[in-house]
Amino acid sequence: MDFRKKIQKANRIVFKFGTNVLSRDDGSISLSRIYAFIEDIADLKKQGKEIIIVTSGAIGLGAQKLKMEKPTLVSLKQACAAVGQGRLMYIYEEGFDKFDITTAQVLLTEEDFTIRKKYLSLRNALNELLTLGVIPIINQNDTVSTSEVEGFNTDGVKVCFGDNDKLSALVMSKLDADLLVILSDVDGLYDGDPRTQTDVKVIPLVKEVTEEIEALGFEASKRGRGGMKTKLEAAKIAANSGGFAIIANGKKPEIIKSIFQGKEVGTLFLPQDQLSGKKRWIAYATSCFGQLIINTGAQKALVEKNSSLLPIGVVEVINEFEKGDVVCILDEEKNEVAKGIINYSSSDTLKIAGKHSDEIESILCHKNYDALITRDNIVIL
């Protein structure tokens, strides 16, 4: 089957532009490249396709305007983002306006995903913009939320995204998009590390993101935040949401045209069995407020039998959380096994961990559930 031809029919498309692809070699903004992207996307829009753009570049533009090197302090990153975001949006707005296309700025934080009510509200707002023919221009709100800058919030909770690669995949999943296009400064996923090896080749097609494929990821370059590691994670989310994903080199001329002409450019990731909307939210769009270490018996029951997590299988409780929060479930070597919505607070979980379910009421003087996490609220990772 020619999957390259199939993606030409994609109707709802998310484009992610990384910092490196928007920049010249000296770190300054590449206006010619951005306007080339805008022109090609305008052509897709004329074909009736719905377009969403997730863009980096605000911090870099702000740093350039303030005449400073790439900031390392969180407060300086926030200041640069505040200065650069308006400039970044102006570039997109002015470019698309020449094609009579309206854009809308959407700045997001992790709470827009982790709080389910906000998650659903955001979905409705983005869908309405697309219905109106508007292109949403999405970026992380680095000015007000340091968790996107650092990857953790002030309570040490691991947040659902800390880079625009993951954000683009969450947006793609939320909107049931057909295709995620990640444009960076690499030709695709290589079968080795192109920074240290000379004989590596691009893998044109990935049928499934296995552990072997994930091992090919590497960390970010000097100017970027993600690297191939986060791009692979994004591609995996897109595939598990039932869509295609492509990682390609945005510095190659007419790359967007090449993709939609069915040419073999970049690395194409194929769709997998789609998770339900709620389980996608649990798996990808939520922050982990705590961790549960489970024994091998509980792990086997979860993975092989799709069972609920009972108190007797828990050997350690980490961090504080409330009933209804999402927690990460780890094996005894502290590898992440699953995520789920907890039925008890951390203080209650500590008291009943390692106990039989029929002891819960006598220990706590109340009983919400026999299970700490019911199987309908667990996603195996």
Question: Based on the domain organization, do 239 and 338 belong to the same domain?
Answer: no
Q: Do 40 and 138 fall into the same domain?
A: yes
Binned at pLDDT 50, 70 and 90, residue 142 comes out as confident
Whether 153 has a pLDDT exceeding 80, the answer reads: no
pLDDT digits (tens, 9 = 90+) for 16-25: 998 889 988 7
Most confident segment among 102-106, 174-178, 270-274: 102-106
Give the pLDDT confidence of 71-93 residue by residue, as tens digits.
Answer: 888 888 889 889 999 999 999 99
Which tens digits make up the pLDDT trace of 248-257?
Answer: 999 999 999 9
**Residue 347 belongs to a domain with what CATH number?**
2.30.130.10
How far is it, in rounded angstroms, from Cα 33 to Cα 254?
10
Q: Are residues 30 and 156 in the same domain?
A: yes
Q: Specify the pLDDT at position 64.
A: 86
| 150 and 191 assigned to the same domain | yes
Q: Are residues 244 and 347 in the same domain?
A: no
pTM of the model: 0.84
Instruction: Identify whether residues 249 and 293 lie together within a single domain.
Output: no
Q: What is the pLDDT of residue 370?
A: 94
Secondary element (H or E) of residue 152? none
Residue that is last in its domain, among 280, 314, 342: 280
Lowest mean pLDDT among 89-103, 125-139, 147-161, 273-287: 147-161
Total of domains in the chain: 2
Is pLDDT above 50 for 338?
Answer: yes
Residue 307 — left, alpha, or beta (φ > 0 → left; ψ -120 to 50 → alpha)? Answer: beta
**How far, in Å, CA of 230 to CA of 237, rounded?**
11
Q: Which amino acid is at 293?
A: I
**Do 207 and 325 have their domain in common?**
no
306 and 325 share a domain? yes
The pLDDT assigned to 216 comes to: 84
What pLDDT sits at residue 219?
Answer: 60
The band of 148, judged by pLDDT with boundaries at 50, 70 and 90, is: very low
Based on DSSP, count helices (H) and strands (E) in the chain, helices before strands.
16, 13
How far is the C-alpha of 295 from the C-alpha of 131, rounded, in Å?
49
Q: Is 138 in contact with 108 (CB distance < 8 Å)?
A: yes
Residue-number span of the structural domain to which 80 is assigned: 3-280
Distance separating alpha carbons of residues 223 and 184, to the nearest angstrom: 12
Sorted by sequence, the CB contacts under 8 Å of residue 358 that are 6+ apart come out as none
Verify that 344 and 375 share a domain, yes or no: yes
What pLDDT does 198 receive? 79
Q: Which of 28-42, 154-168, 182-196, 208-222 shows the lowest mean pLDDT across its residues? A: 154-168
* Separation between Cα atoms, residue 324 and residue 115, nearest integer Å: 11
Choose among 12, 25, 1: nearest CA to 221.
Answer: 25
Asked if residue 54 and residue 114 are part of one domain, the reply reads yes
Residue type for 284, please? Y
Query: Which of 335, 299, 324, 334 shows the shortest CA–CA distance to 377?
Result: 324
Residue 207 and residue 322 share a domain: no
Among residues 280, 311, 339, the one where a domain terminates is: 280
